[in-house]
């Protein structure tokens, strides 16, 4: 996909600028047709054990889940699906029973002042359909399975900006009423935008008897999911330190390390603070998955680089490389099978409030908005860094295309944030759930 971006600049920092999007092949289906040649007796003697073997292979070796990699999944389309007759309020049209999080509920769900117009109802009418026959291994999503995953195998720690915060909010709705969320935003306290948020197992959940709580798991203390707001992967001091180790991007117009930041505030945390959270033992924590996303704040207002976006982008490459190395070294002490998933950053739309249905193909930007026409490139770069590093516990999930096709799914305030309950963010959750069945 091209967004009409200009590839002509050159950088003294290595060559980052070719990102083939890979088309991976699929495992061939096993040769069942040959079975027809056998006679009935042979069938008993050979086909039965053979079927059992194939079933075993299918389940454990050629898991059908492996047929739906992120690029395959993302090549699908949004299909119209009528709402159930019983869908009256924003929760039921969104497929939720409620939301555990109390933070900016009306903004997240796009029902400011309780308004639930046709536009908003329409936005919950679309379902992501991965390419037919290529994702048959995807089990239909069930919140019961997700709750079991989070309790028994381990929780999800979200590290990222406000869009990751939206993912956390969406999860609090998907899992409602089986989880409770902290903090309570209606208790009269004013919370900073970066205040840590957690989901815990609701001790009243009807599913409690079906769950095997790990030894040491404490319902009141062990989070199932947590979001920590981290806009730039690192703290500002980390980034300044990294910058000092690099040759100048443009020796004739070098940015001093003290001048890499611009005027816009960001919420930052060092990996030296959030990795210990990820790795902490029970009962304090039981995370298995770190879900990371970044790019939106790598902008010309957050950063003060003298050579604008090309320099920010080159620095992003260095930062993601340093980050992957750091994560890999933290994982050396892991004995619990922890995994790291980087979700591709979602792109904004132009003129979103005037578009009332999904696109069938990605529309290139007509104008320069923030760093939006660079986001593809940021995503591809992060993906290449992870691919080249080839660490078995770190993967990149390139699943931004479904969101790119949903100009109708934004919040009222802007055309980047996504309305919870329109299937976009819920799709990330269900895809991650599918991905984890094999990872």
Ligand X SMILES: *[C@@H]1O[C@H](CO)[C@@H](O)[C@H](O)[C@H]1NC(C)=O
One residue of 133, 189, 354, 367 binding ligand X per CB under 6 A: 189
Closer residue to ligand X (CB): 18 or 204: 204
Closer residue to ligand X (CB): 204 or 335: 204
Does position 122 bind ligand X by CB under 6 A? yes
CA–CA separation, 378 and 374 (whole Å): 6
Stretch that binds ligand X, among 40-48, 61-69, 178-186, 245-253 (CB under 6 A): 178-186
Question: What are the start-end ranges of the E strands in 236-337?
Answer: 287-293
Closer residue to ligand X (CB): 113 or 281: 113
Does position 119 bind ligand X by CB under 6 A? yes
Stretch that binds ligand X, among 129-137, 185-193, 343-351, 391-399 (CB under 6 A): 185-193
Does position 310 bind ligand X by CB under 6 A? no
Which residue, chain included where needed, has tokens 């409602």? 176
Closer residue to ligand X (CB): 208 or 326: 208
Picking from 180, 192, 197, 206, the residue whose alpha carbon sits closest to that of residue 99 is 180
Which residue, chain included where needed, has tokens 């690192």? 234
Does position 183 bind ligand X by CB under 6 A? yes
- CB atoms near residue 358 (< 10 Å): 23
Closest approach of ligand X to the CB of residue 203, in Å:
6
Closer residue to ligand X (CB): 357 or 362: 357
CA–CA separation, 332 and 338 (whole Å): 10
CA–CA separation, 66 and 298 (whole Å): 33
CA–CA separation, 438 and 431 (whole Å): 12
Picking from 8, 227, 12, the residue whose alpha carbon sits closest to that of residue 100 is 227
One residue of 22, 81, 115, 184 binding ligand X per CB under 6 A: 184
Does position 182 bind ligand X by CB under 6 A? yes
No. of helices (H) and no. of strands (E), the chain? 14, 9
Does position 81 bind ligand X by CB under 6 A? no
Residue 68 CA: distances (Å) to CA of 60, 342, 421, 435: 16, 17, 24, 8
According to the 3-state scheme, what is the secondary structure of 42-86? HHHHHHHHHHHHHHHHHHHHCCHHHHCCHHHHHCCEEEECCCCCC
Closer residue to ligand X (CB): 93 or 239: 93
434 contacts 68 by C-beta, under 8 angstroms: yes
Does position 187 bind ligand X by CB under 6 A? yes
Question: In the stretch 195-224, what mask flags binding to ligand X with x, by CB under 6 A?
Answer: -------x-x--------------------
Does position 366 bind ligand X by CB under 6 A? no
260 contacts 343 by C-beta, under 8 angstroms: no
Closest approach of ligand X to the CB of residue 122, in Å:
4
Does position 264 bind ligand X by CB under 6 A? no
Closer residue to ligand X (CB): 187 or 245: 187
Question: In the stretch 318-357, what mask flags binding to ligand X with x, by CB under 6 A?
Answer: --------------------------------------xx
Q: How far does CA 428 lie from the centroid of its chain?
A: 5
Residues that bind ligand X (CB under 6 A): 118-119, 122, 180, 182-184, 187-189, 202, 204, 356-357
């Amino acid at each position: 996909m091209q967004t009409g971006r200009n590839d002509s600049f050159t950088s003294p920092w290595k060559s980052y600028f070719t990102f083939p999007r890979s088309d991976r092949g699929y495992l061939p289906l096993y040769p069942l047709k040959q079975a027809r040649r056998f006679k009935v007796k042979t069938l008993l003697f050979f086909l039965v054990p053979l079927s059992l073997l194939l079933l075993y292979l299918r389940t454990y070796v050629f898991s059908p889940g492996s047929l739906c990699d992120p690029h395959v999944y993302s090549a699908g389309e949004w299909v119209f699906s009528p709402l159930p007759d019983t869908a009256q309020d924003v929760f039921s049209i969104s497929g939720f029973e409620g939301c555990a999080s109390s933070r900016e509920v009306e903004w997240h769900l796009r029902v400011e002042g309780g308004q639930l117009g046709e536009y908003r109802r329409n936005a919950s009418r679309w379902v992501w359909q991965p390419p037919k026959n290529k994702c048959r291994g995807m089990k239909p999503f069930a919140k019961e399975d997700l709750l079991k995953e989070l309790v028994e195998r381990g929780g999800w720690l979200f590290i990222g900006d406000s869009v990751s915060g939206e993912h956390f909010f969406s999860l609090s709705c998907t899992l409602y009423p089986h989880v409770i969320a902290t903090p309570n935003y209606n208790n009269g306290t004013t919370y900073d935008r970066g205040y840590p948020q957690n989901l815990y197992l609701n001790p009243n959940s009807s599913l409690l008897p079906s769950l095997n709580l790990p030894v040491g798991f404490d319902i009141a203390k062990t989070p199932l999911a947590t979001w920590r707001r981290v806009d730039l992967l690192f703290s500002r001091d980390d980034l300044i330190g990294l910058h000092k180790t690099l040759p100048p991007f443009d020796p004739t117009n070098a940015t001093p390390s003290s001048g890499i930041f611009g005027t816009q505030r960001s919420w930052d945390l060092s990996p030296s603070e959030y990795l210990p959270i990820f790795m902490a033992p029970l009962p304090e924590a039981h995370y298995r998955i770190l879900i990371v996303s970044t790019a939106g704040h790598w902008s010309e207002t957050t950063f003060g680089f003298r050579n604008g976006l090309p320099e920010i982008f080159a620095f992003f490459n260095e930062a993601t490389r340093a980050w992957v190395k750091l994560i890999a070294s933290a994982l050396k002490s892991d004995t619990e099978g922890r995994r790291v998933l980087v979700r591709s950053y979602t792109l904004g739309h132009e003129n979103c409030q005037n578009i009332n249905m999904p696109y069938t193909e990605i529309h290139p930007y007509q104008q320069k908005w923030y760093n939006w026409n660079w986001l593809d490139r940021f995503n591809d770069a992060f993906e290449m860094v992870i691919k080249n590093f080839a660490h078995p516990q770190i993967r990149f999930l390139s699943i931004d295309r479904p969101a790119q096709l949903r100009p109708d799914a934004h919040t009222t305030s802007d055309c980047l944030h996504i309305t919870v309950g329109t299937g976009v963010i819920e799709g990330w959750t269900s895809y991650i759930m599918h991905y984890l069945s094999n990872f």
